């Protein structure tokens, strides 16, 4: 009963492994900052390159295992246990090859000794007092995987060799001629052994707990040709085995770090804070304070910080640095409309200076247009000085006058 229960539990354990698993997906932060370009397609997604589905795992691995062995009735023995180690190689999506070594043991304690098989004419009988059989050997296994996943079922076929070593003794033979046993005492069979070819067929499965650790189990039928070396027995021993262990692949699993596909949420972002979401923004990265149209492209851009030397149209080094950033935006913007470079001056409270300020603002706007052209801006640029007209702050304060000394870019037409 114990043996039947143990075998049933072993088979149930193999059959009960999960048949599928759900991929776990993690959200990716797709936010951007500064001047970075963003997609305009609301259906777009961010993801790592998608795998073609080709199976690329070809690692070596080690696989220790334990064995429950149920011998056939012809062995006249009880179930036993064993252990072994396999070294294997993943060949492709369907096949693994392994070399396995093992040791296993069965016992004969209390089993009747088959004396009649050795001396049929004298009809000897007897019972083992203690004893057993040790199996040591190895096989070459070929595994065929029906699929490769977290749960991976396979069929296996193995060929190999095994040494069977009998050990133990029994009280002695009895017969009608010698009811008290053979004169001379106990027969000792310790050390008797033979070698044989074996083959195994079976089925099993692996269950992946991590990239470098899998549980594995299989059930097998074994045919052992050693039976033909012992009189009175069948020509082939038929044994049943249950192997349970784990697999440890060497190295990183190919493709283990592939990023999951995550939907983009550009409709909820406005990276350049111009009032147009990143999905609809045709001119991403506009400077702060720029007036834009419904597509996020500039209508009026104030060039804040673009200053000149006193009473001169010569750009300061700081102004050139700011204009270099403006050039990057203008080159990147898809719209190549004509642009007016408008220059303005502040009113300093000196009557009669209006004409001077008008000419100064004109020269300053031309200086900016010339610098932008020289840096690669291809839009048509038209310089226009407005002097002290159209102030945006109070000229009665120094703070207001600073704001009124400005240069603006104005996109012209539709």
pLDDT tens, residue by residue, 313-323? 888 888 888 88
pLDDT grade, residue 261 (50/70/90)? low
Highest mean pLDDT out of 26-30, 260-264, 380-384: 380-384
Distance, in Å, from the CA atom of 209 to the CA atom of 32, rounded to the nearest integer, reads 36
Q: 201 vs 17, which has greater pLDDT?
A: 201
3-state class percentages of the chain: helix first, strand second, coil last, to nearest 5: 15, 35, 45
Per-residue confidence (pLDDT) for residue 129, from 0 to 100: 56
The two beta strands, 126-127 and 130-145, are unpaired
Q: 120 vs 87, which has greater pLDDT?
A: 87
The two beta strands, 60-70 and 237-249, are antiparallel
Domains and CATH numbers, the chain: 53-249 (2.40.160.20), 266-411 (3.30.1330.60)
Residue holding tokens 């009809």? 123
Helices (H) and strands (E) in the chain, counts: 4, 18
Which stretches of 119-179 are assigned E, i.e. beta strand? 126-127, 130-145, 151-170
Token couple for 118? 């050795």
The CB density around residue 43, as the number of other CB atoms within 10 Å, is: 8
Per-residue confidence (pLDDT) for residue 58, from 0 to 100: 93
pLDDT > 70 in the chain, percent: 71
365 alpha carbon, distance to own chain's centre: 57
Looking at the chain, how many residues does it have?
414
Section 329-352 average pLDDT: 82
**Residue 28 pLDDT > 80:** no
The CB density around residue 9, as the number of other CB atoms within 10 Å, is: 11
Per-residue confidence (pLDDT) for residue 400, from 0 to 100: 85
**Residue 392 pLDDT > 90:** no
Q: Are 405 and 335 in contact (CB under 8 A)?
A: no
Per-residue confidence (pLDDT) for residue 411, from 0 to 100: 86
pLDDT tens, residue by residue, 160-212? 999 988 776 544 444 555 455 444 444 445 557 889 999 999 999 999 999 99
Per-residue confidence (pLDDT) for residue 108, from 0 to 100: 76
pLDDT tens, residue by residue, 49-107? 444 468 889 999 999 999 999 998 777 788 999 999 999 999 999 999 999 999 999 98
Distance, in Å, from the CA atom of 30 to the CA atom of 260, rounded to the nearest integer, reads 13
């Amino acid at each position: 009963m114990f043996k039947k229960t143990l075998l049933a539990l072993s088979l149930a354990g193999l059959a009960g492994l999960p048949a599928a698993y759900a991929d776990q997906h993690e959200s990716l932060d797709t936010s951007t900052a500064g001047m970075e370009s963003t997609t305009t397609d609301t259906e777009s997604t961010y993801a790592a390159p998608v795998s073609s589905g080709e199976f690329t795992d070809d690692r070596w691995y080690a696989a220790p295992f334990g064995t429950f062995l149920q011998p056939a009735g012809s062995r006249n023995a009880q179930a036993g246990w064993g252990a072994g180690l396999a070294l294997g190689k993943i060949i492709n999506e369907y096949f693994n090859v392994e070399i396995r070594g093992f040791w296993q043991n069965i016992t004969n304690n209390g089993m009747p000794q088959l004396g009649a098989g050795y001396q049929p004419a004298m009809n000897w009988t007897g019972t083992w007092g203690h004893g057993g059989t040790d199996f040591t050997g190895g096989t070459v296994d070929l595994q065929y995987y029906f699929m490769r996943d977290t749960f991976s079922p396979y069929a296996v076929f193995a060929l190999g060799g095994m040494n069977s070593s009998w050990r133990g003794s029994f009280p002695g033979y009895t017969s009608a001629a010698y009811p008290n046993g053979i004169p001379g005492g106990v027969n000792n069979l310790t050390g008797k052994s033979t070698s044989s070819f074996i083959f195994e067929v079976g089925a099993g499965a692996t269950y992946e707990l991590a990239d470098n650790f899998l549980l594995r189990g299989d059930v097998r039928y074994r045919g052992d040709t050693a039976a033909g070396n012992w009189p009175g027995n069948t020509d082939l021993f038929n044994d049943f085995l249950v192997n349970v262990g784990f697999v440890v692949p060497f190295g990183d699993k190919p493709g283990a770090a592939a990023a999951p596909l995550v939907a983009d949420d550009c409709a909820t972002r406005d990276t350049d804070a111009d009032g147009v979401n990143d999905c609809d923004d045709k001119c991403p990265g506009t400077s702060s304070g720029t007036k834009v149209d419904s597509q996020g492209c500039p209508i009026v851009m104030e060039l804040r910080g673009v200053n000149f030397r006193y009473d001169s149209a010569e750009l300061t080094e700081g102004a050139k640095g700011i204009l270099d950033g403006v050039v990057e935006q203008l080159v990147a913007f898809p719209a190549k409309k004509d642009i007016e470079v408008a220059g303005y001056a502040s009113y300093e409270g000196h009557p009669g200076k209006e004409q001077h300020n008008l000419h100064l603002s004109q020269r300053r706007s031309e200086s900016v247009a010339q610098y932008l052209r020289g840096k690669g801006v291809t839009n048509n640029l038209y310089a226009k000085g407005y002097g002290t007209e159209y102030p945006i702050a109070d000229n009665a304060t120094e703070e207001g006058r600073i704001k009124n000394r400005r240069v603006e870019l104005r996109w012209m037409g539709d």
